[in-house]
Amino acid sequence: MQQFLWAVDRASTWFGKLCAWAVVGLTLLISWEVFSRYVLNTPHAWVLDAQIMLYGLLFMTAGAYTLAKNGHVRGDVLYGFFEPRTQASIDLALYIVFFLPGIVALTWAGWTFANDSLAIREQTFNADPLPIYPFKFVVPVAGALLLLQGLVEILRCLICLKTGAWPTREEDVEEVDVDKLKEMVHVKDSDIESLDQLVVAQKGGQP
């Protein structure tokens, strides 16, 4: 089961990192348009629509990645003090009541809208129109990935309810572990205290 959870986490992470490269395209596109508009005096009507699509791609595809890293905003003023089983119970209830209906509706409606857009070959309304239907398919794809990741999070809640501990996650970015850092550089707490006392003594006893 743990390998399955990690496999979905890896898929969400890979897809999120892949789509994150749109930041590079967005930056280059905006820089080029600013130069073209204000230096060459040749603005392009389609660039604004392209910018919106690229930003929308980033926004939509970040959902599954962020959920896989447990990085969504959480009001944990009290939540952090609860036992893991209590946390899992709250999360499970919220996933079932709010998450699943919302994401299923998003995925279903997105698929419908994307197919309608494809059927009429929908385009933007400007002097240099761009096709919209490829971008609209981002909505159901991102929704499906977010739904899959949400199901994995529900499984994590069930495992926590059974075992009393949260299953581990694979992390692509880890915070600094101070204790581990001390072990790596062979520094003890007594060494740090001695250094603090030396600094205070050099300052004339002023903290």
Higher pLDDT, 109 or 194: 109
Residue 5: band (very low, low, confident or very high) from pLDDT cuts 50, 70, 90: confident
- From the list 14, 63, 54, 16, the residue with the least C-alpha distance to 134 is 54
| List of residues 6+ apart from 168 with CB closer than 8 A | 2
Query: Do both 20 and 119 map to the same domain?
Result: yes
Contacts of 130 (CB under 8 A, 6+ apart): 46, 49, 50, 53, 123, 124
Q: Examine the domain organization and report whether 199 and 115 are in the same domain.
A: no
Residues 200 and 127 in one domain: no
Name the β-bridge partners of 131: 123
Task: Encode pLDDT of 82-130 as tens digits.
Answer: 898 999 999 999 999 999 999 999 999 999 999 999 999 998 887 788 8
| 29-77 pLDDT tens trace | 999 999 999 999 888 888 889 999 999 999 999 999 999 888 887 777 7
Q: Are residues 127 and 144 in the same domain?
A: yes
In this structure, are 146 and 47 located in the same domain? yes
pTM of the complete model = 0.74
165 close to 2: Cβ distance less than 8 angstroms: no
State the alpha helices, DSSP H only, in 95-206.
Answer: 100-119, 133-136, 138-163, 178-185, 189-202
User: Do 95 and 56 belong to one domain?
Assistant: yes
Contact 152/8 with Cβ under 8 angstroms? yes
The count of domains in the chain is 2
* DSSP secondary structure string for all residues of 115-144: HHHHHTT-B-SSSS--B-HHHHTHHHHHHH
Looking at the structure, tell me whether residues 45 and 142 fall in a common domain: yes
- How much is the CA Rg of the chain, to the nearest whole Å? 25
- State which amino acid sits at residue 33: E
How confident is the model at residue 173, as a pLDDT?
Answer: 47
Pair (63, 118) in one structural domain: yes
* Residues 197 and 132 occupy one common structural domain: no
Amino acid identity of 84? P
Residues 12 and 63 reside in one and the same domain: yes
Same domain, 200 and 116: no
Structural domain boundaries, residue 32 = 2-174
CB–CB of 161/92 below 8 Å? yes
When pLDDT is averaged across residues 176-195 and rounded to a whole number, the result is 67
Q: Are residues 52 and 123 in the same domain?
A: yes
Phi then psi for 183, rounded to 5 degrees? -65, -40
**6 CB contacts (<8 Å, ≥6 apart)?**
169, 170
